Structure 1
């Protein structure tokens, strides 16, 4: 009888617990999940250097996930250091979990990670096209969703598609902000460069250089265009300047460039 009673009480306790969570308000759920994030991310994982203490870092997050496995941020935090360590296959299932529990917040982030880190360019296009369809052409890591789609087409050697996307994205940025981002302009120039449209490429490189005058990568590709047009002396002078500028650190300096080499970044 005693064992049966204990079993019944345990079952009731589990059922009642589930019922309480099931009936909690959105505000109560938010407060509860924020407390878990504070305890297991801010007060635990964030205090551990994952580069040298990955086990301890992941353990903090795992303890939080035991309390509520539907918190997308915990899964994203698990994935992030593996991507930075170039262990993409390890991090991917965790990032997929983050998207599963909060697509609106993490789908664009996953697409970004596919683009700059794991180089899954077809996956990038699919994810960002879904983002645009559902949420509009917003931003991830300071660039529009269209920017990453264009970059992915560049990496797939579909240069005309890339050019069309960059052109449209720059026009939309110009309407909102007065000009396109210098990196959009640079990659638009690259899409022309890859089609051997030297003069059209130079137009875009020059626009990029108007915003970032020491941009060594834009100077390098512009110099190659000049050389292909027979302007060897002008090209040589520009290459000398580009070399000096890169030595001063003037190159593609996106935040995540410390982990991954961005497409078409010149290796001197």
Structure 2
């Protein structure tokens, strides 16, 4: 089945985040100034109009965390991370349990502030337990951050624990992205045979995962299995062209760590 990039958009006002007011009056403010006002404006061309709507709501009640998050969201989308983070910090101030994990995710995937992401998410674990944000546990994003800081052993340990826990919990499906990053950690540690075994688990779930095929091919090449590697590189290129790529929701906004790009496969 061809990859479909899901736009569940953590950024969409249709998400369950929307109705976050603590009382009826706050819900009314959200409806009037977000749903009926800010949501009418496209942030790409009418950022100031959208922000004005939200500011009017916050003048009435500055403690509504969701309005602060909605002020932050479009700035992250247009890569004005420092501006957006100021507003997201306010959302965390007024509702840390909901928005601090999200802030850790944003630091990891959007603003690429990996050390800060680790600090934020470790603090979340202490206060709230190792919960989920954007389909993965806090530990997942901590591990990805360690990958980006070249601390591969830490990343491998955390990701191995993560995939083991997913496998043990029969109510959850094994996750191909988790296997992808575990394989990457092993590849960076030069455990090429182990990396290939993990990449194969990802391919069992998502057989056309071009990113995985490419890095598996790299491992095979480094093991002097040139013919197998060449075949996988050919498949990766074809699958990449057909759209079978890393399919985390937010790849439509940001390049994820180790995500395959056209120049890798000769496009």
**Residues of 2 paired with 1:127 and 1:150: CA distance?**
13
Q: Counterpart of 1:202?
A: 196
* Count of aligned pairs: 241
Shift of 1:179: 5.1
Aligned partner of 2:260 among 251, 256, 266: 266
TM-score by length of structure 1 reads 0.88
Give the 5 Å matches for 1:77-96: 77-96=70-89
Distance 1:160 1:29, change over 3 A: closer
Q: Which has the higher helix share?
A: 1
Structure scoring higher RCO (CA < 8 A, sep ≥ 6) equals 2
Q: Counterpart of 1:252?
A: 246
Q: Counterpart of 1:116?
A: 109
Q: Is the 8 A contact 1:76 1:98 kept in 2?
A: yes
Q: Is the 8 A contact 1:170 1:179 kept in 2?
A: no
Give the 5 Å matches for 1:2-81: 30-81=23-74
Q: Counterpart of 1:104?
A: 97
Q: Deviations over 1:24-59 (max 9, x none)?
A: xxxx95111000000001111111111110010000
Deviating above 4 A after TM superposition, structure 1's stretches of 4 or more consecutive aligned residues are none
Aligned partner of 1:165 among 158, 163, 174: 158
> Which blocks of at least 5 consecutive residues in structure 2 are unaligned?
1-20, 263-267
TM-score by length of structure 2 reads 0.88
Q: Secondary structure at the match of 2:169?
A: helix
Shift of 1:180: 3.1
Q: Counterpart of 1:227?
A: 221
> Which blocks of at least 5 consecutive residues in structure 1 are unaligned?
1-27
**Residues of 2 paired with 1:172 and 1:34: CA distance?**
38
Answer with 1 or 2: which has the greater Rg. Answer: 1
